Each structure stands twice: as structure tokens, then as C-alpha cells.
Structure 1
Amino acid sequence: MEHKHRFELLKQLQEVDFVLIELNLFLDTHPGDMNALQQFNWYAQERARIAASYEQQYGPLTNFGHSLNQYPCGWDEGPWPWEI
């Protein structure tokens, strides 16, 4: 069950990332669209919530100081996203 939950959180992150990229591209050509900006901000907060939930349960998603780590170090723990 834990593996399924982990996969679901990663899937949610991919979906939200896709929406954020699309909204970012839209806002590049429509910078005054307040509705699109509000959607972008909502999805950015949703992404942060999902990422925090994942990292609390399964360890860091990224390195370079963008994610907190825990003891024991979570960098070498799998499965990696491409192994799921």
C-alpha cells in the first residue's frame, strides 16, 4: 500500500507541474490575465503541499538545497521516480 501511495503522490506532482508549465507559458503572452495568475499561484501552493507531504514520508525530491533531508540520509533511498 505504501508503494501505491508514493506513486500517487509522484503522479500528482507530475500533473501539477504540467499545469504550472502551461500556465507559465500562457502568462508569458498574457501577463495581465488575473485569473491565470490566480490559478498559477493556487497550483504553486498545491505543488508545495504535495511535495512537502512526499518529502515528509519518503525523503527529498531534489538536491542542491531545495529539499530538506533527514537522518539517515535519504538521497540513496529508492525507488527512484523512473523505477516506479
Structure 2
Amino acid sequence: MKQMPPEYYQLLEELQTADFVIVDLTLYLDTHPDDANAIQQYNQFVKQRKQIKKAFEERFGMLTNFGYSYSHYPYEWPEAPWPWQV
């Protein structure tokens, strides 16, 4: 397994944390759609996740495929390691 710099793991952990909160808030909002505070938190974490994802991909390349991430030149998806390989 390829060892990546500490920032790689830090950003990946921040993404996982934001994803967890977003999923949790989504489940909560399914049953509490009028909770303005939860909606605000949800939107805050979605914005935060986009910023973290952008920072990660600018530094380390694509996180996902099939049109969910931009690619540098040359097309970088075939390059390892992929996030689940570290």
C-alpha cells in the first residue's frame, strides 16, 4: 500500500466526517422536514464538504468517477492510489 502525505489522510477524514453528518441530517430531515436549524446545518455541511473535496482533488486528484469529479490532464482516474486503497 502506497504511503501518502499526512494532508491526504487529514482531508480524507474531514470528508468522511462531513459525509457522516450529511447522511445523519438527511435521515433526520426525512422525519422532521420543518426543522430550520437542521436544514441550516445540512446546508452548512454540504458547502463544507464541497470545499474539502475541491481542496483534496486539487492536491491529490479525482475522488470519484463517472462525472462527479473534474480531471487534470492527462485523465487521472487510472492513477492509483484510489481513496479505498490507502
1:65 aligns with 2:67: yes
Cα offsets for 1:4-61 (capped at 9, x unmatched): 1111111110010000000000000000000000000000000000000011111111
Matched residue, 1:3: 5
How big is the alpha-carbon RMSD for the aligned residues of Structure 1 and Structure 2?
Answer: 1.4
TM, length-normalised to structure 1: 0.92
Structure-2 separation of matches of 1:12 and 1:72: 27
Instruction: Structure 2: give runs of 5+ residues left out of the alignment.
Output: none
Q: Which protein, 1 or 2, shows the higher relative CO under an 8 Å CA cutoff with sep ≥ 6? A: 2
TM (normalized to structure 2)? 0.90
Secondary structure, in 3 states, of the residue corresponding to 2:5? helix
Deviation at 1:80? 1.9
Letter in 2 for 1:53: A
Take 1:83 and 1:63, find their aligned partners in 2: how far apart are those partners? 15
Separation in 2, partners of 1:72, 1:11? 27
Q: Unpaired runs of 5+ in structure 1?
A: none
Displacement of 1:73 in angstroms is 2.0
Q: Judge which range, 69-78 or 3-12, deviates more.
A: 69-78
User: CA–CA distance in 2 between the matches of 1:74 and 1:5?
Assistant: 19
1:72 Cα deviation from its structure 2 partner: 2.3
Contact residue 18 and residue 45 of structure 2 kept, 8 A: yes
